[in-house]
């Protein structure tokens, strides 16, 4: 079926530490994997995405890795800051839509 | 930066009433979507719309739901007879030309919070 599993559901890190969130998907035909950040009461906002023709993409403190063989992808945030605290959703493209993971609540403690 | 705009931001309605949620997608986008998010849960796909017709819908999108693009700018979601479990945040999203971008890069609106009493 069309499924995206996301772990962990909550993650607490100390300011300055790294955070890693992992997702797996079920359809090997999926080729696009975005990550969205959602602050409380606000819209999901795209922070980084990766297509299946690359294995890694980096944008400042944020990076995403993709393993197509294993059907999993990960978000890495380095040097975390309090403003990184939010809910992070991974997603995978299935046909004409994105299917989202259940979300990870990231808390960065200062 | 272009935005997807949604109205109303919050609507309270009685069970059984009809509700219309409105969206203005980004002007040069071709693909339109409705998603919903029940409080504290994940973002769930409802429907995608392209070339003036539904291209895909989820099992949530039953006969009580419909979408329409009545003119060149608006994209609406109608719930004919609301139920308590329809209470959620409804997000509209749009994306550009898939052939050019190679993927559905979605831009979300700010959402319409629906409360059914």
Question: Among A61-65, A106-110, B51-55, which stretch is predicted with the lowest mean pLDDT?
Answer: B51-55
Q: Burial of B14 by CB count in 10 Å (0-12 exposed, 13-18 middle, 19+ buried)?
A: exposed
Q: In the numeric block, which tokens belong to residue B61? A: 């999108």
Note whether B45 contacts A: Cβ–Cβ < 8 A.
yes
* Chain CA centroid to CA A54, Å: 16
- The per-residue pLDDT for B70 is 84
- Give A66-99 pLDDT, tens digit per residue: 999 999 999 999 999 999 999 999 999 988 789 9
Candidates A6, A98, A105: best to mutate against B (most CBs of B within 10 A) is A98
Q: Locate the DSSP E strands across B16-71.
A: 19-24, 31-37, 44-50, 53-57, 65-68
Tens of pLDDT, residue by residue over B8-61, are 999 999 999 999 999 999 988 889 999 999 998 999 999 999 988 999 999 999
Q: pLDDT by residue (tens digit) across A19-45?
A: 999 999 998 888 999 999 999 889 999
- Full DSSP string of A37-81: EE-TTS--EEEEEEETT-SEEEETTEEEEEETTTTEEEEEE-S--
pLDDT at residue B104, rounded to an integer: 75
Nearest Cα of chain B lies from the Cα of A42 at a distance, in angstroms, of 6
Question: Does residue A47 register a pLDDT over 80?
Answer: yes
In 3D space, the residue among B2, B105, B22, B89 whose CA is nearest the CA of residue A42 turns out to be B89
| Rounded Cα distance, A57 and A109, in Å | 26
Tell me: pLDDT of B102 over 80.
no
State pLDDT tens for residues B66-101: 999 988 789 999 999 999 999 999 999 999 866 555
Q: How far apart are CA B2 and CA B107, in angstroms?
A: 9
Question: What pairing do the DSSP bridges indicate for beta strands B10-13 and B112-116?
Answer: parallel
Residue A100 φ/ψ, nearest 5 degrees: -100, 150
Contacts for A51-55: CB closer than 8 Å, 24+ residues apart: A51/B102, A51/B103
* pLDDT higher than 90, residue B2: no
The dihedrals phi and psi of A69, each to the nearest 5 degrees, come to -65, -45
Scanning every residue of chain A, which has its alpha carbon at the shortest distance from the alpha carbon of B43?
A100
The owner of tokens 């994997």 is A33
As a whole number of angstroms, the distance between CA B23 and CA B47 comes to: 14
Residue B49 at interface with chain A, using a CB cutoff of 8 Å: no
């Amino acid at each position: 079926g069309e499924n995206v599993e996301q772990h962990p559901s909550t993650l607490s890190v100390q300011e300055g530490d790294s955070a890693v969130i992992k997702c797996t998907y079920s359809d090997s035909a999926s080729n696009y994997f975005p990550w969205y950040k959602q602050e409380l009461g606000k819209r999901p906002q795209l922070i980084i995405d990766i297509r299946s023709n690359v294995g890694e993409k980096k944008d400042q403190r944020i990076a995403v890795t993709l393993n197509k063989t294993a059907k999993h992808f990960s978000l890495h945030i380095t040097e975390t800051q309090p403003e990184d605290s939010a809910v992070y959703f991974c997603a995978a493209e299935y046909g004409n839509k994105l299917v989202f993971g259940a979300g990870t609540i990231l808390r960065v403690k200062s | 930066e272009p935005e997807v705009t949604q109205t109303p931001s919050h609507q309270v309605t009685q069970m059984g009433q009809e509700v219309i949620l409105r969206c203005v997608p980004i002007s040069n986008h071709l693909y339109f979507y409705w998603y919903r998010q029940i409080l504290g849960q994940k973002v769930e796909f409802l429907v995608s719309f392209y070339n003036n017709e539904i291209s895909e819908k989820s099992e949530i999108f039953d006969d009580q739901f419909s979408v329409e693009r009545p003119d060149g700018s608006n994209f609406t979601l109608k719930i004919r007879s609301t139920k308590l479990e329809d209470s959620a945040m409804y997000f509209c999203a749009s994306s550009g030309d898939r052939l050019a971008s190679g993927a559905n890069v979605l831009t979300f609106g700010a959402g319409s919070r629906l409360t059914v009493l």
